[in-house]
Amino acid sequence: MIRLGLIVLVLLVATAGVQGDSLEEYIDGEGNLRLENDFIAIFVNMGPENQGRFGVDVTGGNPDHDGDNNKPLIYGHPRPWASYTTIRIDGENYVFGGETTKRAGRDASYGEVTREPEVVDGNRIVTETTIGDIVITQELSFIESTTTGYPDTAQIKYQITNEGNSSQRVGLRVVLDTMLGPNDGAPFRVRDQEVLRDKVLIRDDIPEYWQAFDSLEDPMVMAQGDLRGPELTAPDEVYMTNWGSLADGAWDFNFRPGREFYREGEFELDSAIALYWTAEDLEPGETRDFVTSYGLAGIDIVPGLLSVGLSAPARIIFDDFTDSFQVMAYMQNNLDVAAQDVEVELELPDGYEVVEGSDRLTQVGELEAAGRMQFAWQVAPTDKPDKSDILNIGVRADASNTDGTHASRQVEMMPPAVLELVLEAPDSFDFKDHRMEPNPFPVRGQIKNVGGSPAYALSASLVLPPGLSLAYGDREELELGILDPGQEINFRWMVRSHGRPGLIPMAMEVSSRNTRDIGQVVEIDFPEWKETVYLQWDDPERLKPGRVVTANVVLGNLGDGAEFKFDLEYPADILRPMYISRGELLVKGEDMLSFTRPDIEPGQGIISGFAGDIREKDRDSGVLARIHFLVLEEGQGRLELKNAQVTDIYGAPFDLDIGSLEFNIE
């Protein structure tokens, strides 16, 4: 299905939060805002202290493993405070959400919580902080784990927008105080390394995911953090260290490679992880997303005297951006003596090979009692798959003095997303009352996913040449979220012509994180037109002696005008001006554009001094002014514009077609 919760086009309905009495059903016994499913729960501190900070618990967890039920994944009871997020703006550090008296961020600077935690659409928790001109939105929701295939993972998303008028350098740090049940100091498992001491991973050294568990023999909770993927924003740096150091430093902190994970200043193991996105320029009006995830790990464990665990993605999409995937294996010797002549082998079907990491067959030799090892491979197909398939992989561990153990796992291979698009615009225009119609006119787009997997972070942009612009309120670029296989999305822009005739092209460009950019161009044949100012009766049927009739001064086909002025000549023996009002072209929402309303001197035959500023108007044509006359008697007459002029922003006048209005009163 199309995941409309991320689509901006659905009349903004998806941005309405759950408020009032309905909010209470999401508040837990500790006063946190809580969402949960059969696997995990996400809960957010409602503050005011530590407002916006979050925790993650296991609920039902892994269906095949009872030991993880109702255990924490992130330290956060009774109310979350230990995990926190820092925004770096032009070298200054600010913590997201409400202020704290706790150790984590106690001495840091804070902005203003401009949107308190709320549940949106029943499936995500949204909080917003504003720091000067920078607006940061935190969104927490459920997604499928890459290795379990279940919605047992929390997606952690920050959207940062620069609402100011100047560029600012913005970076982000997310600290997760990981906790596996009662174990607050579990090691991190990165590729073929068990990380027990301070370690940093930088850019190309950052893997697709890391995992954590306490024991392969009987793991209580198996956790996983995803770092790369089509829905994620890969961090620039990942630090694995003790929580106390990260708590004391909102950005820079006491990092000592090789130091064990004992909490800074204390004597307890307390591992934590920090993800850094280094500061980059964020231009005025620009929005940038930072997305990561943390939840349960999918590890198939076979216990034995040599216990073995095997992990790999539940499904793989081989597109233009993915050429291999990560496989991890774990081994633990549960004998009371050393295992001899140990060897470990990765088993792959025909058509797949190891392109990086451990050897497919590794001669370990001796593995001491209670010894542990882990292995990691990057696996790739010899030819890129073009259809769905099930890949069976396995890992075998053997020793000369005990029975061997074998673990296996299935990986679903999926074809890539393939996008098709259609762009449609009117093929003809009409003229009515000196004006081209329709103007603005609709441009319709359609995007369809005809591939076999979702397209992530889908966006569409309309590219317009000089002579065309979007109508007021429309945006050139639309963020459309996720488009699933077989689904389509339809949308519309309103485009205004500014009078340039002939064939004019426009283009729609479509992109996503896991497809190639595509586009389509259409050409529209615009007719010749003329900028004009003319007169018309509001209701010609009212041209009777003794009635009040309204004459409209209409501007047609002029999109780039800045200022106007004119006088109006009228037959004083037939008409008597009563009052003057501004036209709708000088009204923009609740704002009134500049308009000089001249004084009326009855019997003079001319009204002088109409003037105004129309540069902020949101239409090319419309009524500038309304003059209301009392009809005195029968006769023939003429309304005529005198000294009419419209200038552009540089003061240069347009060559106007100026119309008059003849009439007969009987």
577: preceding bond cis by omega (within 30 degrees): no
User: What pLDDT is stored for residue 415 in this prediction?
Assistant: 86
State pLDDT tens for residues 226-285: 999 888 999 999 999 999 999 999 999 999 999 999 999 898 999 999 999 999 999 999
Spans in the chain with pLDDT lower than 70: 1-22, 320, 386, 433-434, 559
Beta bridge partners of 95: 86, 110
Residue with tokens 């306490």: 214
Q: Which of 564, 436, 422, 446 is nearest to 495 (CA)?
A: 436
Tokens 């003229």 -> residue = 431
Q: Which pLDDT belongs to residue 108?
A: 94
What does the pLDDT read at residue 21? Answer: 38
8-state DSSP, 268: S
* Tens-place pLDDT, residues 369-405: 999 999 999 999 988 776 788 999 999 999 999 999 9
Distance from C-alpha of 659 to C-alpha of 534, rounded to nearest angstrom? 4
Residue 559 is predicted with a pLDDT of 67
Q: pTM for the complete prediction?
A: 0.74
Q: What are the structural domains, with CATH classification, of the chain?
A: 4-296 (2.70.98), 301-414 (2.60.40.1510), 419-526 (2.60.40.10), 532-665 (2.60.40.680)
Q: Say how far apart CA 191 and CA 195 lie, in whole Å.
A: 10
Q: Please, are residues 35 and 125 in contact by the beta-carbon 8 Å criterion?
A: yes
The pLDDT value given to residue 23: 76
Contact 490, 445 (CB under 8 A): yes
